[in-house]
Chains A and B, each alone.
Chain A
Amino acid sequence: MHDLLSIEKFLQFTADELLVDANEINMNTTFRSIRTWSSLNALVLISRINEETDLLISSRDLTACQTLEDIHLLIKSKINGTD
Chain B
Amino acid sequence: MALIKTFGSTIKGMVSVVPKTTEDNMNLPNISTEDKESLIKHTGIRFKKITTKSNVDVKDYFEKGIEEILSKLNWEKSSIDILICVTQTTTTSIPSVSCRLHGDMKFDEQTMCFDINSGCSGFVYGLQNIQSIMHGIDKQNVRAILCCGDLSSQLIEENDNTTRPIFSDGVSIIGIESIESKSEITGYFNLETAGQGQGAIYTAKGANQKDYMRLNGIDIYNYSVKYVPKNISDLLKFSAKDLSFPDFFVFHQANKLINESIRKKLGIAEARVPSSLYEFGNTASASIPITLNTFWENHQKNSGWILISGFGVGFSMASGLIKFEPEICLQPIEF
Contacts and interface: CB of A to CB of B under 8 A. Distances in A.
Q: Is the interface of B mostly helix, strand, loop or mixed?
A: helix
Give the dominant DSSP class at A's interface.
helix
A51 B218 contact: no
24 contacts: A19-B38, A39-B161, A39-B162, A40-B42, A40-B43, A40-B217, A41-B38, A42-B217, A43-B42, A44-B257, A46-B221, A46-B222, A47-B221, A47-B225, A47-B257, A50-B261, A51-B264, A56-B225, A57-B218, A57-B222, A58-B222, A59-B216, A59-B218, A59-B219
A43 B257 contact: yes
Interface in B283-328: none
* Residue of B35, B218, B226 ringed by the most chain A CB atoms within 10 A: B218
A58 B218 contact: yes
Interface residues of A, number: 17
Contacts of B225: 47, 50, 56
Interface of A: 19, 38-44, 46-47, 50-51, 56-59, 62
B3 interface: no
Contacts, number: 47
Contacts of A43: 42, 217-218, 221, 257
B265 to A, nearest CB: 8
| B161, B216, B222, B261: residue with the most chain A Cβ atoms closer than 10 Å | B222
A46 B217 CA distance: 10
A44 B217 CA distance: 10
Contacts of A40: 35, 38-39, 42-43, 217
Interface string B63-88: 00000000000000000000000000
Interface in B137-195: 161-162
A39 B217 contact: yes
A39 B258 CA distance: 15
